Structure 1
Amino acid sequence: MRRAPVGTAAVTALLLAAVAGCTGSTPSQDGAGPGAAPSSGGTATGAPGTGSSAPADPSAAAQPSGGGSSAGATDSITVAFAGDVHFEGRTASRLSAPAAETALGPISRTLAAADLSVLNLETAITGRGKAEPKTYTFRTTPKALGALRDAGVDVVSQANNHAVDFGPDGLADTLAAKASSPIPVVGIGKDAEEAYAPYVTTVRGVKVAVLAASQVNEITNQKWRAGEHKAGIASALDEAALVRAVTEARATAPVVLVYLHWGDEGVACPTGAQTGLAKKLAAAGATAVVGTHAHTMLGAGMLGRTYVAYGFGNFLWYGTSNYPGSDETGVTTLTVTADGRVTGEAFTPAHIDGRGVPVPQTGNAAKAAQQRRDGLRGCTGLAAAPK
Structure 2
Amino acid sequence: MALFATLAQADDRLTVVLAGDTGLNASGAPLDARGGWKGGVRVTGAEALAGIAPWLEGDVVFANLETTVMDRNDIAARDKMFVFRMHPEGLREFAEAGINVFSLANNHALDYGTRGAGETLAHVAAVPGVHAWPGLGWTRAEAMRPHVFELRGVRVAVSAVGNAGGGLPAREGRAGMLQERVDFPEVAARLREEDADLRILSVHYGREFDPLTDAADAARFRGAAAGGGASIVAGHHAHVAKGVEISGSHLVAYGLGNFLHLGTQNMARFDICRDFGLLLRVGLTRGDAGLAVETVEAVPLKDMHLRVTPMGGEAARLRLEVLNYLGGRLDGADARGLRFRPQADGSGLWCAAGAGDARCAGWTEPAASAREAEIAAACGRVVTRGSF
Alignment TM class, shorter chain as reference: 0.7 to 0.9
1:244 counterpart = 2:192: no
Instruction: Name the residue aligned to 1:348.
Output: 299
Q: 1:198 aligns with which of 146, 149, 155?
A: 146
Of 56, 62, 69, the residue aligned with 1:118 is 62
Q: Indicate whether 1:233 and 2:177 are aligned.
A: yes
- Amino acid paired to 1:164: L
Partner residue in 2 for 1:308: 252
SS at match of 1:156: strand
**C-alpha contact 1:287 1:342 (8 A) present in aligned 2:** no
Tell me which amino acid in the other structure corresponds to 1:335: G
Name the CA distance, whole Å, in 2 between partners of 1:199 and 1:288.
Answer: 15
Which stretches of structure 1, 4 residues or longer, exceed 4 Å deviation after superposition? 22-25, 93-99, 225-230, 321-326
Query: In the comparison of the two structures, how many residue pairs are matched?
Result: 314
> Are the structure 2 counterparts of residues 192 and 102 from structure 1 closer, same or farther at C-alpha, using a change threshold of 3 Å?
farther
What does residue 337 of structure 2 align with? 384
Give the counterpart of 1:79 among 16, 19, 38: 16
Answer whether contact 2:114 2:167 (CA < 8 A) is retained. Answer: no
| Superposed counterparts of 1:263-274, under 5 Å | 263-274=206-217
Q: CA deviation at 1:97?
A: 5.2
Q: Is the 8 A contact 1:331 1:348 kept in 2?
A: yes
Residue number in structure 2 paired with 1:224: 167
- 1:371 positional shift: 1.5
Output aligned runs, 1:292-331, within 5 Å.
292-317=236-261, 318-320=263-265, 324=271, 325-331=273-279
The one-letter amino acid of 1:88's match is: N
Equivalent residue of 1:383, what SS? strand
Query: Which residue of the partner structure matches residue 36 of structure 2?
Result: 92
Q: TM-score, normalised by structure 2?
A: 0.72
* Displacement of 1:356: 2.0
Residues in 2 aligned to 1:161 and 1:323: alpha-carbon distance in whole angstroms: 23
1:124 to 1:147, Cα distance in 2 relative to 1, 3 A = same
Corresponding position: 1:171 with 2:122: no
- Percent identity, please: 29
Equivalent residues of 1:212, 1:234 under 8 A apart: no
SS of the aligned residue for 2:122 comes to: helix
What corresponds to 2:324 in structure 1?
374
Which residue pairs with 2:136 in the alignment?
188
Distance in 1 between residues matched to 2:312 and 2:91, nearest whole Å: 29
- Decide whether aligned partners of structure 1 residues 227 and 308 sit closer, same or farther in structure 2, where only a CA change above 3 A counts: farther
Q: Quick one: distance in 2 between partners of 1:255 and 1:185?
A: 16
Where 1:341 maps in the other structure, the secondary structure is strand
User: How big is the alpha-carbon RMSD for the aligned residues of Structure 1 and Structure 2?
Assistant: 3.1
Q: What is the aligned partner in structure 1 of residue 230 from structure 2?
A: 286
Listed one character per residue, the Cα deviations across residues 126-146 of structure 1 (whole Å, up to 9, x for unaligned) are 334322232211111212320
* Residue in structure 2 matched with residue 150 of structure 1 by the alignment: 96
What does residue 359 of structure 1 align with? 309
For residues 367 and 295 of structure 1, do their structure 2 counterparts lie closer, same or farther at Cα, with a shift above 3 Å needed? same
Is the Cα–Cα contact under 8 Å of residues 330 and 360 in structure 1 kept in the other structure? no
User: Deviation at 1:291?
Assistant: 1.6
The reply on whether 1:133 has 2:76 as its aligned counterpart is: no
Contact 2:188 2:201 in 1 (8 A): no
Distance in 2, Cα, partners of 1:351 & 1:190? 37
What letter matches 1:254 in structure 2? Answer: D
2:145–2:159 contact (8 Å) kept in structure 1: yes
* Higher relative contact order structure (alpha carbons within 8 Å, sequence separation ≥ 6): 1
TM-score by length of 1: 0.72
Alpha-carbon deviations, 1:112-167, whole Å to 9, x = none?
x2121101110111334322232211111212320110121111111101011011
* Closer, same or farther: CA 232–323 of 1 in aligned 2, 3 Å: farther
CA distance in 1, matches of 2:258, 2:7: 32
- Contact 1:329–1:358 under 8 Å retained in 2: no
SS in 1 for 2:36: helix
- The CA deviation string for residues 1-21 of structure 1, in whole angstroms up to 9 with x for no partner, is xxx9xxxxxxxx7xx97xxxx
CA change 1:264–1:23 in 2 (3 A) is: closer
Alpha carbons of structure 1 residues 187 and 98: separation in structure 2 relative to 1, 3 Å = closer
Q: Which runs of 5+ in 1 are unaligned?
A: 5-12, 26-72
How far is the alpha carbon of 1:207 from its aligned partner?
1.9
State how far apart, in whole Å, the 2-side matches of 1:206 and 1:102 are: 32
Give SS of 1:238's match: helix
Q: Are 2:283 and 1:335 aligned?
A: yes
- Partners of 1:23 and 1:204 lie apart in 2 by 13
C-alpha offsets along residues 206-240 of structure 1, whole Å, 9 cap, x if unaligned? 222122111x3xxx32x335689983124332134
Structure 2 Cα separation of the partners of residues 271 and 232 of structure 1: 28
